[in-house]
Amino acid sequence: EAQVTQNPRYLITVTGKKLTVTCSQNMNHEYMSWYRQDPGLGLRQIYYSMNVEVTDKGDVPEGYKVSRKEKRNFPLILESPSPNQTSLYFCASSHLTGVFREKLFFGSGTQLSVL
């Protein structure tokens, strides 16, 4: 089954404790991206990757890191989480061919709470 797998589904942590949210896709997609969802703001892009070893900042990259060592994986790293990073996070992927036509496939989301 074609899917984007995100883990964990829920995460509660404390300020300053490094954490990683994993994301993996099995569709051989070139493009992967991370979004955060906050009430009243919709989804905002954090980082994206066009292919292995190619990553770039989105609209709200502060406090986050990513890496793309393999085509299927795109982990999101919070080196020192703060309460303002409490949010619902989504990983998404798509092919790059005909970019504006390509829909994004989303993971099931990670609800992060930073205390």
Binding interface with other proteins (CB under 8 A): 31, 33, 35, 40-45, 48, 50, 56, 58-59, 88, 90, 92, 99-106, 108-109, 111
Residue 88 CB, shortest distance to other proteins, in Å, is 7
**Spatial separation of the C-alpha atoms in residues 93 and 23, rounded to whole Å:** 10
Nearer to other proteins, 53 or 59 (CB): 59
Nearer to other proteins, 48 or 74 (CB): 48
Retrieve residue 47's tokens: 């980082």
Which residue shows structure tokens 């990513």? 66
Nearest residue (CB) to other proteins, 59 versus 70: 59
Q: How far is the CB of 37 from other proteins (least distance, A)?
A: 8
Do 66 and 79 meet the contact criterion of CB atoms below 8 Å apart? no
Q: Which amino acid is at 82?
A: S
The span from the CA of 89 to the CA of 87, in Å, is: 6
